[in-house]
Homo-oligomer: A and B are copies of this chain.
């Protein structure tokens, strides 16, 4: 549905613009994209869009809770459509591919530290590092 994106934008009180719809569409179904890749996809159907607009849109959508932003060490920031379901990530140490994992144990936020050291915690983020299937079967670097 083409208006699906417009709906979601309105629902969080954001103005409906072509770049915003295009960014939402670009991230649909596909897992984890960096700003540059989103930019390329958006350009495909909306060639006047600038990279800065994409950064602005990604920031707005992340702020509004429509997107989640993750920043695995060694990769540029990645954006994904799954939000609010407290899933976590697997990152390949070789090719930096990212996959989703569902919540590791129990209820969100999944974990409580033994001692919070005076902090008021609101989020727990878990990143698993390892080799993905295709990198494991390739000759070692």
Contact = CB atoms under 8 A, between A and B. Distances in A.
Given A90-B117, A124-B128, A130-B122, A105 B99 contact: no
A58 to B, nearest CB: 14
A43 interface: no
Nearest to A101: B113
Interface in A111-141: 111-133, 136
Nearest to A70: B73
A101 B129 contact: no
Copies of the polypeptide in the assembly: 2
Contacts of A126: 111, 124-127
Contacts of A101: 113-117
A123 B69 CA distance: 21
A85 interface: no
A129 B69 CA distance: 14
B118 A102 contact: no
Most buried by B among A70, A90, A125: A125
Interface of A: 69-71, 73-74, 77, 88, 90, 92-93, 99-105, 111-133, 136
5 contacts: A90-B117, A102-B114, A104-B113, A116-B128, A125-B129
